[in-house]
Amino acid sequence: MIFVDETDEVPEARWWCSPRTASAPAVHEEAKTRNLRTIDATCPLVTKVHKEVNRFARDDYDILLIGHEGHEEVEGTAGEAPDRVQLVDKPEDVDKVHVRDPNKVVWLSQTTLSVDETIERVDQNKERFPDLQAPPSDDICYATSNRQFAVKAMAAECDLVLVVGSQNSSNSKRSSRSRCRRARTTRT
């Protein structure tokens, strides 16, 4: 298996496997024009979020996507309805959000986010948009949540926790560090 960043790195008429974090529709179209045979390895939960984006966009909602800028999953999700999706990554992003109708706003999230971080962003958005709607069901991966809770519990009992993961992983790059810091500061 060879990992590539762009579909134009794959020779024409060859097999291409989309990532578990999904790709934007434009990437799939590009693969089609290059006659790439596609294996869709998208996580079912990510697919669910993509379908939610499409449904809310069809119903004329503004969609606040809580996630990390530059993350593959966020790019793929936002690519489903780029004219309706606004990314909310950091606290200051909340003030930059512009919606057409404050009664038709919904939040969705990247599936690998910290539950705590997501709740913080949702609460900030609700201050600005009291009628902000939630997704029909949880978007955060249960396996991710389980690992996050385990790190929190473990960090309270340890002097050091090492999290090993990909450089672009939200859990290994950002969330675990903040969860460990919070757990250490509450340790007695």
Q: Are 117 and 92 in contact (CB under 8 A)?
A: no
Catalytic residue (one of 52, 73, 75, 117)? 73
CB-based contacts of 74, cutoff 8 Å, min separation 6: 65, 67, 68, 87, 110
Give the end-to-end CA distance of the chain in Å, rounded to a whole number. 48
The yes-or-no answer on residue 73 being catalytic is yes
The DSSP line for 96-140 is G---S-TTSEEEEE-TTS-HHHHHHHHHHHHHH-TTPBPPSS--S
Return the active site residues: 73
